[in-house]
Amino acid sequence: MPPSAKLVYKVLESSGLLTQKEIIKKTYLPPRTVRYALKRLLDEKILQERFYFKDARQSLYGLNVATEVVGG
């Protein structure tokens, strides 16, 4: 797993559900790097993607409940 994905994981672990823009602000990573990290974490089934009702153009990202127990 790349370091960027580990950083995104740790931020989501401590902050809960966040949009991609919020993750970029908290990690100080470039948008492309965050997109790559999110894709890797989603492919591994570590994250879940939810519909964001305030802005339908964005998604909310959070840890899967099953992986939280295993990973933590």
Alpha carbon distance 13, 37 (integer Å): 14
**Residue 37 scores a pLDDT above 50:** yes
pLDDT of 38-71, one tens digit each?
Answer: 999 999 999 999 999 999 899 999 998 765 444 4
- Of the candidates 51, 52, 47, the one whose C-alpha atom is nearest the C-alpha of residue 34 is 47
pTM: 0.85
- Answer whether 26's CB lies under 8 Å from 15's CB: yes
Q: How is residue 51 annotated by DSSP?
A: E
